[in-house]
Amino acid sequence: MNALVTGASGFTGSHLVRALEQQGNQVRALVRPTSDLSRLAPTSAELVYGDITDEAALRQAMSGVDMVFHIAAYVDLGLVNEAEMQRVNVDGTQAVLSTMRTVAAQRASPPRLVYCSTIGVYGDTQGQVVDETFQRTQAGFSSAYDRTKYQAQQLVDQAATELPVVSLMPAGILGPDDPHFGPVITLFLRQRLKLWPGGQRVTGIVHVDDLVQALILAAERGTPGAHYIISAGELSTREMFEILSQLTGIPVPAEPPQGIIRALGSLLDPLGRWWGWNPPLSRERVHYIYDRCVRVNASKARQELGWQPRPVAEILKDLVE
């Protein structure tokens, strides 16, 4: 298989490139001229330079490929550059789909598209465990990321009537080089994480390498137009730290008073806007810590794709090791 990976220099994208090559596939990687290519150093992927919204670069990148994995995304919470997030997540997805249509019109057998979405498209389920049939009920959006990924998913679903598209909705993605929660794990292992708020917050998690296997299985076996939730299991943040504590002997971080955390978020939010800084706590981040709860059932991927993720405890053990 000849495959194109957008967002190839990022966390999930680079793991996908390596896995595809290990299975004997030829991989083309769409990267920006300013991208840090260190994650791709161990690979032999053919690099195509261009922005995710550059349809000329996308046409070059899609030439002759059998499969397109659209992984590129701007992922962040808090005080983000909303215009840039809109450009990357929505306009970028629109450009990928537009280019796919052009390529499909020129070929008897168009490439298949696997889109990496997020369980966030379902909105705040308020603790209700949902599957792929769930229709979003939340009025409005919790964040710019939530909104832009939802809008991008709408574009993908519309395109599924004319293109062979499969969508994956992963839960929280963890791995040894995770740029989001990884630094938190590092602080914990260095015994420098004494406090952590929102211990009762329940979330699903998946190891990045298991997500990669789900992406490849979706390319091979996924039903066109289908959605697949990707989560190895759910646990609260405190349960996560308790497992890490059992593995390391390091005490579980204490739970700070919720009132103090909410007050800090309200204080740092305007300061961050004034200084152009995304603080570790903001109103949006506090909302995700205490108020928003998205819970999912990932049995469809196991049944239809034959996906077999490692257990939650093994994911956390891998992070420690």
pLDDT in tens, 27-53: 999 999 999 999 999 999 999 999 999
Q: What residue type is assigned to position 283 of the chain?
A: R
Q: Which DSSP letter does residue 163 get?
A: S
What tens-digit pLDDT sequence spans the chain (321 residues)?
899 999 999 999 999 999 999 999 999 999 999 999 999 999 999 999 999 999 999 999 999 999 999 999 999 999 999 999 999 999 999 999 999 999 999 988 889 999 999 999 999 999 999 999 999 999 999 999 999 999 999 999 999 999 999 999 999 999 988 998 999 999 999 999 999 999 999 999 999 999 999 999 999 999 999 999 999 999 999 999 999 999 999 999 999 999 999 999 999 999 999 999 999 999 999 999 999 999 999 999 999 999 999 999 999 999 998
Q: What pLDDT sits at residue 208?
A: 98
Q: 2-174+205-232: which CATH topology?
A: Rossmann fold (3.40.50)
What is the C-alpha to C-alpha distance for residues 75 and 90, in angstroms, rounded to an integer?
12
Cβ proximity of 296 and 130 under 8 Å:
yes
Look at the pTM and tell me if it is higher than 0.85.
yes
Cβ proximity of 114 and 93 under 8 Å:
no
